[in-house]
Amino acid sequence: MPKLASQQCIDPKQHQPTENQLLKALCAEVQERLFPHLELVEMPLGKVLHESGEVLRYVYFPTDCIVSLLYVMENGASAEISVVGHDGMIGIALLMGGESTTSRALVQSAGYAYRLPGQRIKSEFNRHGELLHLMLRYSQALITQMAQTAVCNRHHSIDQQLCRWLLLSLDRLKDNHLVMTQELIANMLGVRREGVTEAAGRLHKQGVIDYSRGHIIVTDRAKLERLSCECYGVVKSETDRLLPLSRHRTESVA
Amino acid sequence: MPKLASQQCIDPKQHQPTENQLLKALCAEVQERLFPHLELVEMPLGKVLHESGEVLRYVYFPTDCIVSLLYVMENGASAEISVVGHDGMIGIALLMGGESTTSRALVQSAGYAYRLPGQRIKSEFNRHGELLHLMLRYSQALITQMAQTAVCNRHHSIDQQLCRWLLLSLDRLKDNHLVMTQELIANMLGVRREGVTEAAGRLHKQGVIDYSRGHIIVTDRAKLERLSCECYGVVKSETDRLLPLSRHRTESVA
DNA sequence: TACTATATGTGCGTTATCGCACAGAGCGTA
DNA sequence: TACGCTCTGTGCGATAACGCACATATAGTA
């Protein structure tokens, strides 16, 4: 196993709200209303943004961190439902009107996020303009991800699921370097740690990843995509369809 | 195995839009705008309301039928993502703005539904009033169901999943009688037909269900709930929380 | 009443994953 | 440099679910 550098260099000064794709997609007018209320917050690994059933006070827009939505069972076992990175937002339940969800939001990869008091975004949401439609589309992308998680859990091997999971994480990071123990991945996938070890070993043998003690580097992304099940592709293309990057002018639904 | 009556008596005349809980929850004003455009349609077993990626022309509000949203894999295997009955609606993607989804909508239990041209509900939705907020809450309930499906697929036995599935279906039917082959259930759960046969046999031995050739009668619902995993309860209580007006018919009839 | 298609029951070897136990390996700190 | 904690590797029996083959039962129809 190769040696990997262990330090991360994150400079808060270089963060911009527009690093988050949802915030970026908003028109200047809405941005002007919202951005002054954004607060850049650190998102350390393991931080819990909300527990199951807890009402959120803030919504979070990740820039370079990754947050998992996961369900924790009565016996403590867990399963990841979906992943949110710079592509999305934590807290759609506030907008949906439910105020809370049955899942826990957990920082899975450290970094930063902008947060906004729940009331701020709710009042913007209730103006029924661009933000509403953007959020609805994002919700649908999230729904697709959840649906595909269900499918993948049912039908695909740990190896395939690991590939999917790595790809989803990779898409939300700046480089090909994940800070992530196998134990954590196992919790996300809802499988044994040993199962992840074996799958990772096979991926390494095939020259797709290098890893060591909580660090994973993807060395052959193309091959990773080939080894993954169809689930990754389904989620990716549907997300791209619903939320084309850059600027999509959200026309009214009707 | 006991003998069961095989005929169903459905009388279209007795159907009312308000049998659907979402339609029922709307205020008189909105009902007056929408109801004249509703069309009662028959929903035979196996009917496909939309394929993956297909744009819907109508949204459907089931009265006494059950519709499964399921994902069909490239190899043809399938997995149910969520269930919709008199508690919900098929076609939220139209409102979300995505226009289509990656799943197929399939009638899993025959009956009737009211349908509405997509444009009609979209324009009501865009009035940004009551319907919008109701639909958002319903979407969150649906999301909860999907999330729990993912969890259940990962962690629970076929026996437990069958219990959950029977309970979810039961809540959307008028009585304790399901018209449903084991083969169909297997497709929904994404497992082998033989696996369902064995699980059903065990439930019968425990006095929970009777069944024969495509008919299942739940004889001990309380026990079924005890045998089910926590997933059913999570979905049920969250749905009740989000949509308190939606009262399950089993309660009002029994 | 007999036939046929469909639904359900059962056996059996195979596989993936699990649960557990413990051995090594790498990094941080004393 | 040595210790200790965390992370990763490996072995092994147990188990749940699979794929396949085929037997049996039932409803509907000829």
CA distance A243 to B252: 43
Say yes or no to pLDDT of B115 above 90.
Answer: yes
pLDDT in tens, B127-149: 887 889 888 989 989 999 999 99
Structural domain contains residue A249: no
CA dist B73 and B76 (Å) reads 5
pLDDT of residue A154: 93
Asked whether the predicted pLDDT for residue A250 surpasses 70, the reply is no
The mean predicted confidence, pLDDT, of chain B is: 87
A75 contacts: CB under 8 Å, gap ≥ 6: none
CATH number assigned to the domain comprising residue A191: 1.10.10.10
- The model's pLDDT over A44-54, given as tens digits with 9 standing for 90+, comes to 988 999 998 89
Distance, in Å, from the CA atom of A11 to the CA atom of A23, rounded to the nearest integer, reads 20
| Contact present, B55 and B119 (Cβ < 8 Å) | no
- Of B154, B183, B201, the domain-final residue: B154
**Nearest residue on chain A to B95, judged by CA atoms?**
A253
Same domain as A116, residue A46: yes
> Higher model confidence: residue A91 or residue B72?
A91
Whole-number distance in Å between A156 CA and D13 C1'? 25
Query: Which among A111, A211, A90 has a CA at the least distance from the CA of A162?
Result: A211
Specify if B167 maps to a domain: yes
pLDDT over threshold 90, residue A202: yes
Residue type for A250, please?
Answer: T
Residues B109 and B161 reside in one and the same domain = no
- Mapped onto helix, strand or coil, the DSSP state of residue B212 is strand
pLDDT above 80 (res B231): yes
Answer yes or no: is pLDDT of B161 > 90: yes
Residues in chain A: 254
Distances (CA, A) of B62 to B39, B56, B119, B140, B171: 11, 16, 19, 18, 13
The span from the CA of A105 to the CA of A94, in Å, is 14
CA gyration radius, chain B = 18
Q: Is residue B251 part of a domain?
A: no
Q: Are residues B171 and B104 in the same domain?
A: no
How are beta strands B215-218 and B177-179 bridged, if at all? antiparallel
Same domain, A118 and A35: yes
What is the pLDDT averaged over residues B59-79? 87
Residue B174: its pLDDT value, please?
A: 84
Q: Are residues B149 and B176 in the same domain?
A: no
pLDDT at residue B219 is higher than 70: yes
Alpha carbons A49 and A90: distance in angstroms, whole number: 8
Q: What percent of chain B has pLDDT over 70?
A: 91
The whole-angstrom separation of Cα B237 and Cα B227 is: 17
Look at residue A209 and tell me if it is in a domain: yes
Nucleotide nearest to A2 (CA to C1'): C26
Are B147 and A142 within 8 A, CB to CB?
no
CATH of the domain at A29: 2.60.120.10
Strand order across the B111-117 sheet? B39-43, B111-117, B58-62
Asked if residue B1 belongs to a domain, the reply is no
Flag if A146 and B144 touch (Cβ within 8 Å).
no
pLDDT of residue B46: 86
Confidence of residue B67 (pLDDT cuts 50, 70, 90): very high
Do A117 and A172 reside in the same domain of the chain? no
Whether A115 shows a pLDDT value over 60: the answer reads yes
Token digits of residue B89: 């609606």
DSSP code of residue A36: G
Determine the average pLDDT of the residues in B231-242.
92
Q: Where are the alpha helices (DSSP H) in B51-181?
A: 92-96, 118-125, 130-155, 158-170
C-alpha angle with apex B133: B81 to B171, nearest 5 degrees? 40
Same domain, B118 and B215: no
Mean pLDDT of chain A: 87
Of the partner residues A97, A132, A133, the one whose CB lies closest to the CB of residue B137: A97
Query: Do B123 and B223 reside in the same domain of the chain?
Result: no
B110 and B194 share one domain: no
Residues of B in contact with A137 (CB under 8 A): 96-98
- Candidate from A82, A139, A254 with C-beta closest to B139: A139
- Do residues A131 and A59 lie in contact, with contact meaning Cβ atoms separated by under 8 Å? no
Q: How confident is the model at residue A77 (pLDDT cuts 50, 70, 90)?
A: confident
Tell me, what amino acid is at A195?
A: G
Q: Does residue B244 belong to any structural domain of this protein?
A: no
> What is the pLDDT averaged over residues B109-119?
94
Tell me the C-alpha distance between A49 and A178, whole Å: 21
Query: How many separate domains does chain B show?
Result: 2
- A124 three-class SS: helix
Give the closest-approach CA distance of B203 to chain A in angstroms. 22
What would the mean pLDDT of B87-106 be, rounded to a whole number? Answer: 90
**Mutant choice from A70, A72, A73, A83 vs B, greatest count of B C-beta within 10 A:** A73
Question: What pLDDT score was predicted for residue B124?
Answer: 92
Instruction: Give pLDDT, residue A143.
Output: 93
Contact A66, A44 (CB under 8 A): no
pLDDT at A245: 64
Angle between helices B130-155 and B158-170 (to 10 degrees): 160
Residue B114's pLDDT is 97
Tell if A8 CB is < 7 Å from nucleic strand C: no
CA distances from A194 to A54, A77, A171, A191 (A): 33, 15, 25, 8
Q: Which domain holds residue B49?
A: 17-154
pLDDT per residue as tens digits for the range A25-48: 898 999 999 999 999 999 998 899
pLDDT band at A12 (very low <50, low <70, confident <90, very high): low
**Contact assignment for A234 to B102 by CB distance below 8 Å:** yes
Instruction: Check whether residue B82 and residue B198 sit in a common domain.
Output: no
Helical axes A230-242 vs A130-155, angle rounded to 10°: 170
For residue A7, tell me if it sits in a domain: no
Higher pLDDT, B54 or B244: B54
Residue A117's nearest CA partner among A51, A61, A53, A64 is: A61
Residue B91 lies in a domain: yes
Give the Cα separation of A88 and A243 in Å (integer): 10
Q: Please indicate, yes or no, whether residues A118 and A164 belong to a single structural domain of this protein.
A: no
pLDDT score of B5 more than 50:
no
What pLDDT, in 10s, does the model give residues A145-178?
A: 999 999 999 999 999 999 999 999 999 888 899 9
Q: Are residues B221 and B125 in the same domain?
A: no
Nearest chain B Cα distance for residue A7, angstroms: 34
Model pLDDT, residue B12: 52
Q: Which residues contact A136 (CB under 8 A, 6 or more apart)?
A: B95, B96, B97
